[in-house]
Chain A
Amino acid sequence: MKKEEAAAVQSGYPGWSGHFRREPEVPFARRGRHLTDLIVGKLLFIVALLAILIVFFIIGFLLRDGYQIVLEIGLWNFLAGMDWNPAGPTPSFGILPLIVGTLLVTALAMAIAVPLSMATAIYIAEIAGPRTKEVIKPAVELLAGIPSVVYGFFGLILLTEWIRILFDRPSGSSWLAGSILLAIMAIPTITSVAEDALSSVPREFREGSLALGATRWQTIRRVVVPGALSGITAAVILGMGRAIGETMAVLMVTGNAAIIPEPITNVFSPVRTLTGTLGIEMGEVAFGSMHYHALFGVAVVLLVITLAVNGLARFIIHRIQMTPARSRASGAFMQSVHNLIPVSLPRQAKRRVIHPRTTQRFAFLLISLGVVIVLAALGVILLEIIVNGAGAISLEFLTAPPSNLGREGGIFPAIVGTLYLVAGALAVALPIGIATAIYLIEYTADTRLTRGIRAAVDLLNGTPSIVFGLFGFAFLVLFLNFGVSLIAGQITLGLMILPTIIRTTEESLRSIPKSLREGSYALGASKWQTIWRVVLPPALPGIITGAILSIGRAAGETAPIMFTAVVFSSRYLPSSLSEPVMALPYHLFILTTSVPGADNQKFGTALVLLMMVLSIYLVAILVRRRYNRATVM
């Protein structure tokens, strides 16, 4: 060491024996790194462009096939026609009952879901202790993880029965049943976004209010909730988007009569939604017929509605991000301070009939009631399926193919088929998704192109899964002539989970501090070296979490695969990508809706699907939690 330093001083600048690289002949000669940078950058750019093209292609394809119906019968007759009867002797294609059905089911669902979600969000953010929080939050997230076909199964087997008996109706399949199910499905979305909004209200505002002698409830009502209002609005709209786009659960419980309820407040009337129509009719429509075009028209209308709803939510969220939390809350805060002042004046206080503490007790009681209802819904669904399904599970059930239309035998091919579908979907979506996210975060500033890509990704994210199914059916199965096949299902599912993967990857890349990138650049690392060695490794857990969540979603989805990849009964496993497969969600759907006398098998299948998906989600939650604790940077 000593000697070395001395040598270094002599030579004018330091260096150790065995120099680890050649001195370039030209002072600052370019090396291969620039080429790598250039190639990688171009590749990522092409992939990101591909992501946009996919979106435009999907939309273009739907429009192309849907436009025909408008040409045939006119826009007004299509949108405002009162009669949807595509298969009759004189077919008619008026979708007004479908639009009304969608709106009614969604509206009532929101009326149920919003109060319950708000109660849960307020409870988690403001009232619960840390330990209770640790239990309730994952429980609500579990609700989000239950596949929609399992909700539909629960709704058809139990919920409609309860409604039939409770209200003494000939059938429980109704608007009400659909709305209750959708409400349960929208609760996790609304709750988690609203809870984020509540939690981001700065602490000082709560303390400021409490210091004026306000009760906790007064603080929540007048300071916290107003401060988080735009976030809560966005939460409700996002929940609404989820409800409008839902297919399977709604299709299974709403009765599907294409009528407008008579009178319009008759919640026991059957209704039919836009998504339900696609789910029921797409499978048996003749390619290129009027009916076929009408269904694409329905898909376009559905897409437009969900786009409008999600666009509105995005706009609101964007505005929140533009204004810092402090300035957002301060208006509400000043106003609330103003409102609170009388509380501290004794003369005013005496005039109150009800003491604020009584109000608080009452409010907290209602909130707790809301939380209990949400947890009870989760508990009932899980319990029913576990208790009834446990008896069906046996070694044979898990390892044998079905026989007698699924009434006997097992579900082995369905389990394997689902695994194949999910693996293929990941193989499609992971490379494209991660590359797009890297391009967006590392290679570009906020340009028109990146805004375009992000908007396209958001668009794809809000697209109902049945629309993906429709696209897959029309483009992959029919147009490209893949037939109903494993590969068609894999690509369709892959497109569906692509936005989730892009989003989560973007988020985890964004969470890597800029100082790490600078540290690497300052050592002479190239862009790609920096990304590959410094940025990606710590971002990996986040990316993996996103991938796992996508696996859960893909494993539970029915709508995208029902016309593209699955058959109901198959004794064999597929031997190539061009053969159809069995899949758990579809198997459950058919057993529930079309096979009488397979009770045991239904519950068993529901249980296996539920456990599979929930354990995937559980892994994701655990990975995320571990990761959050591990990075104290």
Chain B
Amino acid sequence: MDDSTILETRDLNLWYGPKQALLNISIRVPKNTVTALIGPSGCGKSTLLRCFNRMNDLIDSARITGQILFEGDDIYADRTDVYTIREKIGMVFQKPNPFPKSIYENVAYGPRIHGERHKEMLDDIVETSLRRAALWDEVKDRLHEPALALSGGQQQRLCIARSLAVEPRVILMDEPCSALDPIATAKIEDLIIRLARDYTVIIVTHNMQQAARASEYTGFMYMGRLVEFDRTQQIFEDPAEELTENYITGRFG
């Protein structure tokens, strides 16, 4: 599995002030797959996700030990540039958060801040990103209208397009469908599966059907620990841990 591992944590611990939120997490995320993180509320799955692109840096009280390796390089090392990490490891949030700009400007934002100024190149990136996020056909005639006028599901796909536009290798998704209706959810799930051809997707979800449908690997977390990590089929059909089984069969959580 070594060659195809893109993200790896080694004995990762995280505290919010005095409270420990992650305990000794060691996980290897395979390249170009969809990996789901499941578990009850407060189990640390979102916290773990936010470690991968150092979004926890924004929380003053967060403290971390252990290592996170992205393609073999420690992302918390001193010489590491946090902004470059976030370029390579994008993130899509629970609630769609398009900027109050036009659809076009939302997608072009990332390339622009990374120095792309040529109009033609930007046009190209915007179109390609929107196509990859399966949104192009719906918005191609109104690229310059406000993004906030889109529906919730469209906004979320726009946010995905926005993160694709900076060419990430990994896309982190934090319960990306929890604010959406079933039809919009189905579209996003389709999209996630297709994205896994080119990208590595890590998705946090509350919805076990979603994990079963969309992911190849699943990690089950409970009270800050990674209880089990395996192929999704294995986790759902024959989990090694009783805790996992109890959760999956709905006995708690």
Query: How long is the Cα–Cα vector from A633 to B98 in the complex, in angstroms?
Result: 10
Known contacts A520-B109, A523-B87, A523-B163: does B81 contact A29 (CB below 8 Å)? Answer: yes
A29 to B78: give the CA distance in the assembly, Å: 11
Nearest-Cβ distance from residue A561 to partner chain B, whole angstroms: 40
Pick the interface stretch among B111-119, B215-223, B229-237. Answer: B111-119
Residue B131 CB within 8 A of the other chain: yes
The CA of A34 and the CA of B91, in the complex, are separated in Å by 21
Q: For the complex, give the distance between the alpha carbons of A538 and B98 in Å.
A: 13
Most buried by A among B71, B73, B166: B166
CA A518 to CA B71, docked complex, whole Å: 24
Residues on the B chain within 8 Å of A534, using CB: 99, 109
Report whether A523 and B121 are in contact in the complex, using a CB–CB cutoff of 8 Å: no
CB distance from A80 to the nearest CB of B (A): 51
A522 to B113, CA, bound (A): 12
Q: Is A341 an interface residue (CB 8 A)?
A: no
Residue of B53, B85, B128, B169 touching A13 (CB-CB under 8 A): B169
Q: Indicate whether A1 sits within 8 Å of B131 (C-beta atoms), given known contacts A523-B90, A524-B114.
A: yes
| Contact of B73 with A28 in the complex, beta carbons under 8 Å | yes
- A445 an interface residue at 8 Å Cβ cutoff? yes
Given A519-B159, A522-B86, A524-B166, A28–B99 Cβ distance below 8 Å? no
Are A14 and B55 closer than 8 Å at their CB atoms?
A: no
Contact of A21 with B by CB under 8 A:
yes
A-side contacts of B175, CB under 8 Å: none
Which of A15, A20, A34, A537 makes the CB contact (< 8 A) with B100? A537
User: Known interface pairs A18-B121, A20-B111. Does A519 touch B84 (Cβ–Cβ under 8 Å)?
Assistant: no
Tell me which residues across on chain A come within 8 A of B28, comparing CB atoms: none
Which residues does chain B contribute within 8 Å of A631, judged by CB atoms?
A: 100
Whether the Cβ atoms of A519 and B100 lie closer than 8 Å is no
Q: In the complex, which range does the number of interface residues on chain B fall in?
A: 35 or more
B100 & A515 in contact (Cβ 8 Å cutoff): no
Q: Which residue of B lies closest to A445 (CB)?
A: B60
A445 CB to closest chain B CB, in angstroms?
5
User: Nearest chain-A residue to B105 (Cβ)?
Assistant: A533
Mask, B124-145, CB within 8 Å of A = 1, is: 1100100100000000000000
User: What separation, in Å, do the CA atoms of A34 and B55 have in the docked complex?
Assistant: 17
CA distance A80 to B93 in the complex (A): 65
> Which residues of B sit under 8 angstroms from A8, Cβ to Cβ?
198
- Asked whether A598 is an interface residue with its Cβ less than 8 Å from the other chain, the reply is no
Partner of B110, one of A4, A24, A523, A538: A523
Q: Is A5 an interface residue (CB 8 A)?
A: yes
Please indicate which of the listed interface residues B53, B88, B113 has the most CB atoms of chain A within 10 Å of its own CB: B113
Give the docked Cα–Cα distance between A287 and B128 (Å).
74
CB pair A28 B100 closer than 8 Å: no
Q: Does B103 contact A (CB under 8 A)?
A: no
Contacts of B131 in A (CB 8 A): 1
**Binary B-proximity of A525-546 (CB < 8 A = 1, otherwise 0):** 1100100011001100000000
- Contact present for A28 and B79 (CB under 8 Å): yes
Q: Is A354 part of the contact surface with B, judged by Cβ < 8 Å? A: no
CB distance B91 to A522 under 8 Å? yes
- What residues of A have a CB within 8 angstroms of the CB of B83 in the complex? 31, 33-34, 524-526
Flag if B199 contacts A14 (CB, 8 Å). yes
Task: Tell me if B48 counts as interface (CB < 8 A to partner A).
Answer: no
| A26 and B74 alpha carbons, distance in the complex (Å) | 13
Interface centre among A27, A30, A445, A529 (most CB of B within 10 A): A27
User: Which residues from B are CB-within-8-Å of A30?
Assistant: 79, 81
Task: Please tell me if A212 contacts chain B, counting CB pairs below 8 Å.
Answer: no
**Secondary structure type dominating chain A contacts:** loop
User: What residues of chain B lie closer than 8 Å to A633, measured between beta carbons?
Assistant: 100, 148
Whether A516 is near chain B, meaning CB under 8 Å from some CB there, is yes
Residues of B within 8 A of A1 (CB): 128, 131
Given contacts A28-B75, A522-B163, A524-B114, contact A515 B109 (CB under 8 A): no
Interchain CB contact under 8 A, B148 and A523:
no
B195-208 contact mask (Cβ, 8 Å, vs A): 1 or 0: 00111000000000
Q: Are B84 and A520 in contact (CB under 8 A)?
A: no
Tell me if B121 and A515 are in contact (CB < 8 A): no
B183 at the interface (CB under 8 A from A): no
Chain A: CB-nearest residue to B136: A1
Q: Which of B85, B86, B162 has the most CB of A within 10 A?
A: B86
CB pair A20–B73 under 8 Å, yes or no, is no
The answer to whether residues A522 and B55 also contact, given A14-B198, A534-B99, A631-B100 and a CB cut-off of 8 A, is yes
Query: In this assembly, does A521 line the interface, its C-beta being within 8 Å of a C-beta of chain B?
Result: yes
Q: Within the assembled complex, what's the spacing in Å between the Cα atoms of A517 and B100?
A: 12
Q: Do B84 and A24 touch across chains, with their CB atoms under 8 A apart?
A: yes
User: Contacts A24-B84, A524-B87: A515 and B58 contacting too (C-beta < 8 A)?
Assistant: no
Distance to closest chain B CB from A179 (angstroms): 48
Contact in complex: A521, B55 (CB < 8 Å): yes
B163 touches A538 (CB 8 A): no
**Chain A neighbourhood of B98, CB < 8 A:** 519
User: Is B113's CB under 8 angstroms from A533's CB?
Assistant: yes
Give the contacting residue for B53; candidates A33, A516, A522, A529; CB below 8 A. A522
The answer on a CB contact under 8 Å between A9 and B93 is no
B246 on the A face (CB < 8 A): no
Q: Is A632 an interface residue (CB 8 A)?
A: yes
> Of A16, A27, A522, A523, which one neighbours B124 at CB under 8 angstroms?
A16
Query: Which of A29, A518, A632 gathers most chain B CB within 10 Å?
Result: A518
Q: Provided the pairs A31-B81, A533-B109 are in contact, do residues A520 and B93 lie with their beta carbons within 8 angstroms?
A: no
Residues of A within 8 A of B159 (CB): 519
Q: Does B189 contact A (CB under 8 A)?
A: no
Contacting B at CB under 8 A, from A193-218, are: none
Residues of A within 8 A of B90 (CB): 522-523
Q: Complex Cα distance A537/B146, Å?
A: 14
Q: Does A88 contact B (CB under 8 A)?
A: no
Contact A538-B197, Cβ < 8 Å, known A31-B81, A524-B114: no
Query: In the complex, what distance in Å separates the CA atom of A533 from the CA atom of B197?
Result: 32
Given A26-B79, A29-B79, A522-B93, 12 additional A-B pairs, CB 8 A:
A5-B198, A13-B167, A13-B198, A18-B121, A27-B80, A33-B83, A513-B97, A521-B86, A523-B162, A523-B166, A533-B112, A633-B148
Q: What would 13 A/B residue contacts be, using CB atoms closer than 8 Å?
A: A1-B128, A9-B197, A13-B199, A16-B124, A21-B116, A30-B81, A31-B84, A515-B93, A516-B100, A521-B58, A523-B163, A525-B86, A529-B113
